[in-house]
Chains A and B, each alone.
Chain A
Amino acid sequence: MTASLQHPGYDPERLLCVAEKMPCRVSQAGTLLSLMGEPAQYSYPSIFLYGHRSTGKSHVINTLLMDLELPHATVSCVECVSVGLMFERVLLALFGPDTSTLLPRSPSLSDFVRIYRQQAPLSPANQTRYIVIEKAELLRDMDSNLLPVLVRLQELVDDNVTVILLSEIVWDRFRPNTGCFEPLILYFPDYSKGDLQQILSQDIHPSYSPELYSAFINILLGVFYSVCRDLRELRHLAALNFSKFCEPLKEGKVKESDTHKLWRNIEPHLKKAMQTVYLRDVSSVQWEQQLQQTEEKECAALKGLSAHAHVELPYYSKFLLIAAYLASYNPARTDRRFFLKHHGKIKKTNFLKKHEKTSNHLLGPKPFPLDRLLAIFYSVVDSRVAPSASVFSQISSLVTLQLLTQLGHDDQLDAPKYKCAVALDFIRAISRTVNFDIVKYLYDFL
């Protein structure tokens, strides 16, 4: 620890203990402490903390408030689906369990302020009370008067209270159109590579030396740092892959000092694990099992969740889906050329329009009417199909399966429009099962 926390109002022993809990965040914590001032002093009405995901915003604030034993309430806006829940939690944490029952059934802001003002003198504050609101960006979707009130709550309830807002979004995108009190804005910068190394090396495996673990972290960061700087994700990856790293040591093949061999051993595994960063495609339990039996199987042989892209469909549904795909990705002008028998010879260059030079597959699917879908469907299906109710119900069930999407209103009976929502690989797999060469019919691959 280089820097240490110092502030006159608090016990230095305790501050030392707090500073140990938040490596690489001591300067931010120091700023916060000096904003908060001594416990009895009035603090600034509202503080807005922002920074990327897992830069330690909640951790720093909660550790400070917990360990210094300051009165505080922590609420997360994700949990508070109604403002009533938020008020209840704040009152509960600040004034004890009896007070939250005083709130009426669907409390308004004025109810909250009234009860707060009633309760505040009953349990007088010789310390600043803190209200920490996590995921504050969701406050903007609640009542429009909530955010302006929270940032100047101190003035409204006439009590030594400070509201701390935590968010990943900058304050510019919070400001209500009618203006509001400006909170103090504090930025939490990302951890640097050295910071991450320092923090991750702290959770040591008991049976190995700290140097070995930090060497492992060094290798891990060398692989992953370019794609992922999220501390939480990196920690998860480190925990998953450390056992693999230690395997040669367990078997006694190499010594701890022989880092090069260890690196050679772990590196291909980490490269494979890279594909599953953030995506819990293979669950961590599966991954660990797989690591144990790696002798028999190759790492990526296990199919992830996204590889299961094969769906069993009825025969006509497959053709309906193929027809929808063709309708979505081919321009309507070219339907004559693809689906009529005597169309004459037309080269692609002849009817290539200027704006169509970019591939339709890059621009995404285009909407098409039901009539066109059915026309293409009848021309791609070899046999005669009666337009029975089952064909139409299959279309609507494809919509429910989210293989097609209907555009516009739900209750549209005449001429509804659809879009095809499947990828090329999927439709190729489907058309292979019905012996239909879809690439021949796609305008982009002409």
Chain B
Amino acid sequence: TPRHATPSIPSRSLPARQPGSALEEARARLHVSSVPESLPCREQEFQDIYNFVESKVMDGTGGCMYISGVPGTGKTATVHEVIRSLQRASDADDVPAFNFIEINGMKMTDPHQAYVQILQKLTGQKATPDHAAALLEKRFSHAGPKKESTVLLVDELDLLWTRKQNVMYNLFDWPTRRHGRLVVLTIANTMDLPERIMINRVASRLGLTRMSFQPYSFKQLQQIIMSRLNKVKAFEEDALQLVSRKVAALSGDARRCLDICRRATEICEHTSLDPGAPGLVGMSHVMQALDEMFSSAYVTAIRCASVQEQLFLRSVLMEFRRLGLEEATFQQVLVQHQALCRVEGLQPPSVSEALAACQRLGACRLLLLEPSRLGVLQRVRLNVSQDDVLYALKAE
């Protein structure tokens, strides 16, 4: 095999099919991976990041920025968009040329691999982490002839945490060097990450340039979907509003919103009587998709459990009520279970059968159990709320 082969995957023998109907078109547009050219509802954040990076690149200085927000608020997409427009500007000679490097904490086996990846993306060199750190240190602390600025995007910053925090320290220390010309943009989910996990000298180098992405409101979500669909007529107006209101109330996650819309188009396609012209996605389809996404599987699992398993859950509740505790040993529950079976007119199960039922419930995480080698002495706890169990058992 060649030494520096470009990695690739086998290509298709036939090209991928183009979307045929309006629903398929809508599905392709609503896919999470098809990021649009301009992000709606993030104009302010875009401008802030753009100004920050542009000013640093123009001046030839360095700096850090910390970006936070719950998942699905468009942090990474916005930063990428900023970089894209900056690159366009540098092609038009409005800003000086710069390097863009992206690393992701989740894609690394070890935090120290960050050095290796940065070095490889900067120079194409391969080195061990220690050597790479030394090379990068030299590069950023000495003045070189006509050096370009470097913009470094660090995604999933919290995974770069080590006990001595030297990776984070270096990443935030290099921009402060006089000849560094490094702009570091860091992304994480929690707002108070610097205060929580970073020691003082690391947090102070990160600086106070913070930005937090608020979750989308329902209007924004609606606008995002509308802009994605871009005049493809696939959804009823009310259906869209329902999706965006539900998602905004729960998390404000745009990806979740898009997923639900895609699922709703599929449901619409499957349930329509006329396969040629499935029509619009209506309220009922969206309701069904929302149910699939948000409803708890626990209640369904309890409802579909066998008779003995349901009786066991019921006797767990009875035993909890009798003890006044949220925990009981298996043998205590077994006494209740057998009594309950007699009341119900069923043959009481043997210890092995009851244990099997209990361990099956434990395997699907309805119960929390201790290791099975403790036998009848293992303690049983509920993993769902008692109300959920009662609700599921009652509605028969």
Contact = CB atoms under 8 A, between A and B. Distances in A.
A347 interface: no
Interface stretch (A81-89, A175-183, A289-297, A392-400): A175-183
Contact of A177 (B352, B355, B372, B375): B372
A173 interface: yes
B363 A140 contact: no
Contact of B362 (A140, A173, A177): A177
Interface string B344-378: 00000001100110011011100001011101000
Contact of B359 (A140, A170, A179): A179
B373 A173 contact: yes
B352 A140 contact: no
A170 B374 CA distance: 12
A100 to B, nearest CB: 30
A172 B351 CA distance: 9
A170 B352 CA distance: 9
Interface in A169-211: 170-179
Contacts of B360: 179
Contacts of B362: 177, 179
Contact of B363 (A172, A173, A177): A177
Contacts of A176: 372
B310 to A, nearest CB: 18
Contacts of A172: 351-352, 355-356, 359, 372, 375
Contacts of B373: 140, 173-174
Interface residues of B, number: 14
A51 to B, nearest CB: 15
Max chain B C-beta neighbours (<10 A), residue from A171, A172, A176: A172
A391 to B, nearest CB: 44
A135 to B, nearest CB: 15
Contacts of A170: 352
A140 B374 CA distance: 12
A210 B371 CA distance: 52
B293 to A, nearest CB: 25
Contacts of A178: 363
For chain A, which range describes its interface: under 10, 10 to 19, 20 to 34, or 35 or more residues?
10 to 19
A170 B351 CA distance: 12
A177 B371 contact: yes
A176 B369 CA distance: 11
B375 A175 contact: no
Interface class of chain A by DSSP: loop
A298 to B, nearest CB: 46
A279 to B, nearest CB: 28
A378 to B, nearest CB: 45
Interface in A143-188: 170-179
A137 to B, nearest CB: 9
A140 B362 CA distance: 18
A174 B359 CA distance: 11
Contacts of A175: 356, 359, 372
A300 B362 CA distance: 55
Contacts of B369: 177
Nearest to B376: A172
B188 to A, nearest CB: 32
A174 B372 contact: yes
Nearest to B363: A179
Nearest to B359: A175
A174 B363 CA distance: 13
A173 B359 contact: no
Contacts of B363: 177-179
Contacts of A177: 359, 362-363, 369, 371-372
B372 A173 contact: yes
A171 B362 CA distance: 16
Contacts of B375: 172-173
Nearest to A174: B372
Nearest to A179: B363
Nearest to B355: A172
Nearest to A178: B363
Contacts of A173: 372-373, 375
A176 B360 CA distance: 10
A171 B364 CA distance: 19
A230 B351 CA distance: 26
A126 B360 CA distance: 36
Contacts of A179: 359-360, 362-364
Nearest to B373: A173
B334 to A, nearest CB: 12
A171 B355 CA distance: 10
Interface in B19-42: none
Nearest to A171: B352
Contacts of B359: 172, 175, 177, 179
Interface in B72-107: none
A243 B371 CA distance: 51
A37 to B, nearest CB: 26
Contacts of A171: 352
Contacts of B351: 172
B187 to A, nearest CB: 34
B362 to A, nearest CB: 6
A67 B351 CA distance: 38
A172 B371 CA distance: 11
Max chain B C-beta neighbours (<10 A), residue from A140, A171, A177, A179: A177
Nearest to A169: B373
B330 to A, nearest CB: 10
A195 to B, nearest CB: 25
A55 to B, nearest CB: 19
Contacts of B371: 177
Contacts of A174: 372-373
Nearest to B356: A172
A178 B362 CA distance: 7
Interface string A337-376: 0000000000000000000000000000000000000000
A177 B363 CA distance: 6
Contacts of B355: 172
Contacts of B356: 172, 175
Nearest to A172: B355
9 contacts: A140-B373, A170-B352, A171-B352, A172-B351, A172-B372, A174-B372, A175-B372, A177-B362, A179-B363
| Closest 10 pairs between A and B when the two form their complex, measured CB to CB | A179-B363, A172-B355, A175-B372, A173-B373, A175-B359, A172-B352, A173-B375, A173-B372, A178-B363, A177-B369
Given A140-B373, A172-B356, A175-B359, 12 more contacts: A171-B352, A172-B352, A172-B372, A173-B372, A175-B356, A175-B372, A176-B372, A177-B369, A177-B371, A179-B359, A179-B362, A179-B363
